[in-house]
Amino acid sequence: MYKTEVLLEVKDLKTYFFTDDGVVKAVDGVSFTIHKGEVLGLVGESGCGKSVASLSIMRLVDAPGKIIGGEIIFKGEDLLKKTPEEMRKIRGAEIGMIFQEPMTSLNPVYTIGNQISEAILVHQDIGGEEAKKRTIELLNLVGIPEPERRFNQYPHEMSGGMRQRVMIAMAMSSNPDLLISDEATTALDVTIQAQILELMKDLQKKTGMAILFITHDLAIIAEMADSVAVTYTGKIVEYSDVRTVFKNPKHQYTYGLLMSVPSLVAVETKVELPAIEGMVPNPYHMPQGCHFNPRCPFATETCRKEMPELKELEQQHLVRCLHPVQASKEVV
């Protein structure tokens, strides 16, 4: 994997939601590392804690959610030990974030120029004119045509793809070292999605920033990421570089996910598309032992009793499974 300097190290992060119906362990002991310039894909089904993990890094988890344990070491300092004011100075400056819904993520009553320059003015010691210039540069950078005119437009005057570009410009405004993209392309249609991904890749190459890329779309991960962490019910089940995970998945869940991706070959041979049996367990009633055991064809008595550890199965390939997939199958 990466030999460069570590940028972000999340260690045993636990974010729980304390609701009236019980405690939901949205993120339960997640650890991962992002090096400078690395793109880490965090992949998993809805409700497996991907977004909560990213919001935890920003310390933006809303009540009743609470970070109850772990460390988030960013540039050598634990973000969880920062005061709210110190944390605020990191948000938007050193860590930028873009969200899933471009339609609702921008304030409808302010122009996009206002909303981007605001992010510049809060972190950089420059005047309004300068900020406007920089905003127009940013709009140019993210590929928005006629930036001078767009500066004075409101979000409702733009398409979803344009708005997501605005969000990216906003997140990039202070040249962050880490960009968190929380399902940023999910709400967009496929052609726009491809454009936005292209843009993010391009910006990543230009600036050398690291990206934490959260998605449920395996194809995007394959396209974008250097390494990938597969999450299931708030825990990482498999973690390695993207080539290893895609070529040689070891966890039954990862294997199932990759098998259920439609392939062009399978369509020709009319093989029925396999799917993972069952449903994601109810977060209030997690199964005993390995959380995946009710859906796993290889589950044994031990799997139903104890949660396996995340172990280094091969060099740089972490898997949380007692019965890892044996054969090395080419799945995608």
Partner 1 sequence: MRTYLTRRILQLIPVIIGATLIAFFILSLVSDPFAAMIENPKIKLADIVRLKHQWGFDLPIYLRFFKWFGSVVVGNWGPSLLYPGYSAREVIFRALPITLQVMSLEFIFSILLSIPLGAISALKQYSKTDYSLTLFSFFGMSMPTFWFGLMMMIVFSVWLKRPSGVPLLPPGGIQTPGMESAAFLPRMLDRGQYLIMPVIVLSLFSVGGWVRYMRSFMLEVLHQDYLRTARAKGLTERTVIYKHAFRNALIPIITLIALSFPGIVSGAAITEYVFNIPGMGRLVLSAELKNDFPTAMIALTLSTILVVIANLAADVVYSIVDPRIRYS
Stretch that binds partner 1, among 26-34, 66-74, 105-113, 308-316 (CB under 8 A): 105-113
Alpha helices in the chain (DSSP H): 50-58, 84-90, 112-123, 128-141, 147-151, 160-172, 190-207, 218-224, 242-247, 252-259, 264-269, 301-305
Q: Residue 261, interface with partner 1 (CB under 8 A)? A: no
Query: What is the distance between the alpha carbons of residues 269 and 9, in angstroms, rounded to a whole number?
Result: 44
All residues at 6 or more sequence positions from 16 whose CB lies less than 8 Å from its CB, including other chains:
23, 24, 25, 26, 27, 28, 65, 66, 68
Tell me if 163 sits within 8 A of 102, measured CB to CB.
yes
Q: Is 156 in the site for partner 1 (CB under 8 A)?
A: yes
Interaction between residue 167 and partner 1 (CB under 8 A): yes
Alpha helices, DSSP H, located in 248-310: 252-259, 264-269, 301-305
Residue 154 or 217 with smaller CB distance to partner 1? 154
Q: Is 93 in the site for partner 1 (CB under 8 A)?
A: yes
- Quote the least distance from Cβ 108 to partner 1, whole Å: 6
Would you say 99 or 292 has its CB closer to partner 1? 99
The answer to whether residue 327 forms part of the interface with partner 1 (CB under 8 A) is no
Is-contact 168 98, C-beta < 8 A? yes
Q: Which residue, 118 or 130, is less far from partner 1 as judged by CB? A: 118
Q: Is 52 in the site for partner 1 (CB under 8 A)?
A: no
**In the bound complex, what is the minimum distance in angstroms from residue 104's beta carbon to partner 1?**
4
By the 8 A CB rule, do 14 and 27 touch? yes
Q: Which of 4, 107, 260, 300 binds partner 1 (CB under 8 A)?
A: 107
Task: Write out the residues near partner 1 by the rule CB under 8 A.
Answer: 58, 60, 88-93, 96-97, 99, 101, 104-111, 118-119, 122-123, 154, 156, 167, 170-171
